[in-house]
Chains A and B, each alone.
Chain A
Amino acid sequence: MIRVAAVGDIHMGLDSQGVLRPAFETLHDCADLLLLAGDLTRHGTPEEARVVAQEVSGLPVTVVAVLGNHDHHDERPAEVTAVLRDAGVRVLEGQSTVVEVDGKRVGIAGTKGFGGGFVGRSGSEFGEPLMKEFIRYTRRCAEGLRASLHELAEQGCDARVALTHFSPVPDTLAGEPLEIYPFLGSYLLAEAVDDAGADLAVHGHAHAGTEHGITSGGVPVRNVAQPVIRKAFNVYHLRGEGQAEPRAEASADRPV
């Protein structure tokens, strides 16, 4: 069994130091790794990133993160990333990492992701350059996620997790105003997850959403935004038997 702790949207500022550390210090009892689903800071300054870094440095579990939109606000995501990496956090953007847990290999593919909306109610690559770039940016994020998940499959991971900040599905947005769904996520992320396969997809961003969702391909989705889970983190147990297969391979086994 693989124990995955996850939280997003901790929005740490200079007054946040030590708020989550007591709970994080219990991780060695209940989790094998900690996923941070973006919006780790309020404004994306290196000073705020140092607060986050201190909060997670030296923890007895591997910490894997993606950035969120707040972590980009000060337009210094590379500096924020560097501060976190100096503290040992594996920060992913269109990348993957593998964590060894009791002889099993857990692969995490990560991207911040972006908006655009969900099937039938989404933006298109059409019209003004800014509008086209909006959707193209999301598509690039999704392609990075897809490629990373495929890489993890090729590496023979026993479990694979897709880690994003924006949501891949509308399910976990329930509670948010419908009008803002296109700013909260994109079906392109779910399509990438379903195409490449995963055992779990974790995201944040939707503070008024709900925790549980599922992709069209059957991958469980969890919104771990701290205001949603109302804890320092949640823990998910995965069997870690390499059961998630890419869609094409999985469908080949189905009776017709």
Chain B
Amino acid sequence: MNDDAPVEYRIAHLKERLAAEQLGELGIRVEPRGSSVTVVGTVPTANCREELVHTAREELAGMTVHFDIVVAESAAPDHPEELA
């Protein structure tokens, strides 16, 4: 990707890669925030997080990217919900 391309297209291409490549990830939000880009969401495993960060840094090379990526929690619940 051309580093001089408008940020919107670079974000769109990153989203396309996240969906099409190994991650198969559609649920990550990637948004321009001032002069930087934020990448926010939840992924299934720590491996997925590493791959996501790597892909985003590659596709958005030269830009400041802020990540808030959480690995899905896998603990059992501690209480139920009573539905009337």
Residue in B closest to A235 when the chains form the complex, CB atoms: B80
B5 on the A face (CB < 8 A)? no
Which chain A residues lie closer than 8 Å to B79 at the CB level?
Answer: 235
Q: Mark B14-58, 1 if CB is under 8 A from A, else 0.
A: 000000000111110100000000000110110110000000000
A9 to B24, CA, bound (A): 12
Residue in A closest to B19 when the chains form the complex, CB atoms: A73
A20 to B29, CA, bound (A): 25
B73 on the A face (CB < 8 A)? yes
A43-B24, A208-B41 are contacts. A237–B80 as well, Cβ < 8 Å? yes
* Pairwise interchain contact A13-B75, C-beta atoms closer than 8 A: no
Interface of B toward A, CB cutoff 8 Å: 23-27, 29, 41-42, 44-45, 47-48, 70, 72-77, 79-84
A11-B44, A208-B29, A226-B72 are contacts. A236–B77 as well, Cβ < 8 Å? no
* CB proximity of B53 to chain A, nearest CB, Å: 16
Residue in B closest to A243 when the chains form the complex, CB atoms: B84
Which chain A residues lie closer than 8 Å to B25 at the CB level?
Answer: 42
Which chain B residues lie closer than 8 Å to A237 at the CB level?
Answer: 80-83
Summed over the interface, the residue pairs from A and B with CB atoms below 8 Å come to a total of 89
* Pairwise interchain contact B42-A207, C-beta atoms closer than 8 A: yes
* CB proximity of B50 to chain A, nearest CB, Å: 11
A73 to B25, CA, bound (A): 12
* Pairwise interchain contact A15-B27, C-beta atoms closer than 8 A: no
Interface residues on A, range: 35 or more
A207-B41, A208-B41, A238-B83 are contacts. A30–B47 as well, Cβ < 8 Å? no
Which chain B residues lie closer than 8 Å to A220 at the CB level?
Answer: 83
A199-B83, A208-B27, A220-B83 are contacts. A23–B44 as well, Cβ < 8 Å? no
A10 on the B face (CB < 8 A)? yes
A43-B24, A208-B27 are contacts. A20–B74 as well, Cβ < 8 Å? yes
A16 to B76, CA, bound (A): 17
* Pairwise interchain contact A231-B42, C-beta atoms closer than 8 A: no
A97 on the B face (CB < 8 A)? no
A129 to B73, CA, bound (A): 42
A234 on the B face (CB < 8 A)? yes
Residue in A closest to B84 when the chains form the complex, CB atoms: A239
Residue in B closest to A226 when the chains form the complex, CB atoms: B72
A238 to B80, CA, bound (A): 10
Contact of B44 among A3, A10, A233 (CB under 8 A): A10
